[in-house]
Homo-oligomer: A and B are copies of this chain.
Amino acid sequence: MKLLTRDTDYAVRALIFICKAGRRREGATVTADEIIKALKLPKALLRKSLQTLSKNKILISGRGKRGGFSLSKHPSKINIVDIITIFQGPVNFTNCLLRNTPCPNRRMCKVRKKILNLSKYVSSALEKITLSSLS
């Protein structure tokens, strides 16, 4: 059972790398090539993930020579749910037992509720895992 798809996974790793670089040198920017080289990830795919992250304001990007990426906010403000949500949609286990048909009975709805609560729990647990705690 997969919690993270590849692009999410790559994004998280890249973020950790960028975070560390920022810690070593204030205001540092990191290029896609540097990340690819360091983490040995597939180039085109990682570039896409980075673009997605900057579209979603997790990263700030600079274009042109001397361009690159840096975190848009403090690593303690960036958590895993946000990243998962960007790449895979919201962490939400519902509409599973009740796919095609409307809820067949009242008891079923109890389960729906249980599963909804469960995904809320998972979501908030993942929310507590921030970039700070990862790097």
Contacts and interface: CB of A to CB of B under 8 A. Distances in A.
Interface of A: 1-4, 6, 9, 12-13, 39-40, 84, 88-93, 96-97, 99-101, 107-108, 110-111, 114-115, 118-119, 121-122, 125-126, 129, 133-135
Nearest to A128: B114
Q: Copies of this chain, how many?
A: 2
B93 A3 contact: yes
A79 to B, nearest CB: 12
A1 B90 contact: yes
Contacts of A107: 133-135
A123 to B, nearest CB: 10
21 contacts: A1-B84, A1-B89, A1-B90, A1-B91, A1-B93, A3-B119, A6-B99, A9-B97, A12-B97, A13-B97, A39-B101, A107-B133, A107-B134, A108-B134, A110-B133, A111-B129, A111-B133, A114-B125, A114-B129, A115-B129, A118-B126
